[in-house]
Structure 1
């Protein structure tokens, strides 16, 4: 591996999938490293690579998708950006049905293939998806971090202080884009890159995937979401702010979600059947992009450290890290948020398959007090013995117990375990 390449923590999972599944799908936003990961996975395999962003390959796939899928029957066919030719999904199904040998295909997609316009096939039972996000903090530090597994062990462990980080360090980390290409870019270069990235994904990819043509409305809506990063999403309010029909907002939201510009976190309920009707929270998938679109930098975030703006960005960063870690965590967990009818809330609720719960509050302040645990105490009382731990992640340095199964932990705990 070249020295400048970062080892991706999903690599082991991808190797396992190649060994036991006919089609491996690497899915994620543009420029998060899908093609690079695919090349690393096939470097020691008998493989042929096709890039459907290239006009000649795309034209060949569109003309004869069945023949295209069968062009390398004895080896591994690697197809980049498969969402450009949705008909290929049906052809891959036909090819796999003739030969279910593991590791026949590896494909990348910059759009959710299950919501892809024109796709007639889900590849259910024939494919496994490897979600790839931007670089996690553990990947940058060459560590396989797993906060959920650590949190589930908290009752038996003694957390450590994290004196190496200041509040400004945390704000810089939260506001930094996670795209591999921008790791060493200057602030000026980052700004230009992010501006072009948002414009191109909105103007091209969302149209290809969803068929939406009113592109002048997508940009303002994304800007509003960036400024309200981590807020509960109310359709009527968003429609008023962007001056679009309320009935159009869900389609715009789905379009941006399908190309991984945003992530939607559902509301949590003790009754699983009622969760779908809870108001979701919406975050931009990359907090560096969110900060750029909201027009703020680290100095601005630090000046307003107690504001909902700064709190939303830090919370969005934590949510993003937990989503990334979920791909390789030893714990299988869902991620949601909780808010009751009286406005009492918990930023993040992690729940495993045994219905055990870990609550996480996120604070951008460097100090924490008893009042910061009210939502976690409510959640603890609500779920009883299923409540494993409640954690307030904050930008201070001390790890401090705050009562029954409750802890205040430095934010770095998120990626240093």
Structure 2
């Protein structure tokens, strides 16, 4: 960039954050614009990259709902994730592609970001972390299960963050400072990677197994984050949890409003599904917008005042 100083150059890096690499010894502040390209969103795959999110839509757009997935097709789509190769070539063996991707990621990107002596142990760590996707991040528990130091687990998670493999979701508090001192949840960035690391290969296994809820939550979070990120924005997404046990999966902060979102595996609407969202709305009535209970089916209906039962396809 020093030699060729022309305006408008593009520098494409791999899955690591090149600005964190030791090879970049100078500051590029004020000289570059950084755009993260995450795996494809469902909007991009469908050829509708500019379709607004549900809470951004006006009434006319809301009346024109998207074609929902049937359950089997939805889980087939989720298993393939969002990377271009398995997404655009449905006839190819996506399990083989993910296996090769993980191996390449371990051998090149991980070693370039941080010296990790035992790659086999790191791969076991990946699978252990995948089994906890959507849960509170308990470093001590993971370190105990793997027989390694807590500091090693912290370092490995920083590698995953730097290479966009995981997202740390912070809890929402009205006091911004408190968001940084509470335990975050960990989510994998790509649902296909999550399914591969947890050994899920067919739709029935994914839906009926213990990871079904985590998979759908990962898919919902991924769609929200990718939609904002690919516009060039910085998504503000949190979760909400009280000491009394009330919890909302996702709180999206947009245009000075808060959108609470719960994710349920059941496609049968029940008013009780809205209880945590209504509690959140009661606690923060001035800034909270309509809430959504997202599910894998095709029913779109109000659950109660201020909460809608929404198909995943219509986020």
> Is the TM value for this pair above 0.5?
yes
Match of 1:412 in 2: 313
SS at match of 1:131: coil
The structure-2 alpha-carbon separation of the partners of 1:294 and 1:281, relative to structure 1 and needing over 3 Å to count, comes to same
Instruction: Report the counterpart of residue 28 of structure 2 in structure 1.
Output: 123
User: How far is 1:134 from its partner?
Assistant: 1.3
Equivalent residue in structure 1 for 2:181, among 251, 255, 277: 277
* Structure 1 residue 140 corresponds to structure 2 residue 140: no
Shift of 1:192: 1.7
Aligned residue runs from structure 1 range 375-414, under 5 A: 375-414=276-315
Which of 79, 94, 102 is the equivalent residue of 1:198?
Answer: 102
Aligned residues: 312
Offset of 1:157 from its aligned partner? 7.9
DSSP-derived class of the 2:12 partner: strand
Residue number among 368, 372, 390 corresponding to 2:269 in the alignment: 368
In 2 relative to 1, CA 223–144 (structure 1 residues): closer, same or farther, beyond 3 Å? Answer: same
Mapping for residues 219-230 of structure 1, pairs under 5 Å: 219-230=123-134
* Residues 382, 412 of structure 1: alpha-carbon distance in 2 compared, 3 angstrom cutoff: same
1:290/1:328 CA distance change after superposition, 3 Å:
closer
Q: Distance in 1 between matches of 2:203 and 2:147?
A: 30
Taking a change above 3 Å as real, the CA distance of residues 400 and 154 of structure 1, as seen in their structure-2 partners, is farther
| Ranges of 4+ aligned residues in structure 1 off by more than 4 Å | 152-164, 328-333
Q: Which runs of 5+ in 2 are unaligned?
A: none
Instruction: Look up the match of 1:310.
Output: 212
Counting only pairs closer than 5 Å after superposition, residues 209-224 of structure 1 correspond to structure 2 as 209-224=113-128
CA offsets per residue over residues 336-365 of structure 1, 9 Å max, x none?
A: 1111112221111100252x1001111122
The Cα offsets for residues 240-282 of structure 1, whole Å up to 9 and x where unpaired, read as: 2222112211101001111122222222111111101122121
Cα distance in structure 2, aligned partners of 1:157 and 1:178: 25
Contact preservation (8 Å) 1:331, 1:352: no
| Native 8 Å contact 1:113 1:122 kept in 2 | no
1:283-338 deviation per Cα after TM superposition (whole angstroms, max 9, x unaligned) = 2221112111111131212223xx4x100001101111111100255986411111
Cα distance in structure 2, aligned partners of 1:270 and 1:153:
26
Q: Is the 8 A contact 1:233 1:280 kept in 2?
A: yes
Structure 1 or 2, whichever has the larger Rg, is 1
Q: How far apart in 2 are the matches of 1:72 and 1:366?
A: 56
Partners in 2 of 1:156 and 1:270 — Cα distance? 33
Per the normalisation by structure 2, the TM-score is 0.90
Tell me the C-alpha RMSD between the 2 structures: 2.4
Tell me, yes or no, if the aligned pair for 2:248 and 2:261 is still in contact at 8 Å: yes
Counterpart CA distance in 2 for 1:161 and 1:72 is: 48
Q: Deviations over 1:64-119 (max 9, x none)?
A: xxxxx34445x5xxxxxxxxxxxxxxxxxxxxxxxxxx41x321222123432354
**Alpha-carbon distance in structure 1 between the residues aligned to 2:245 and 2:20:** 33
Residues in 2 aligned to 1:386 and 1:178: alpha-carbon distance in whole angstroms:
33
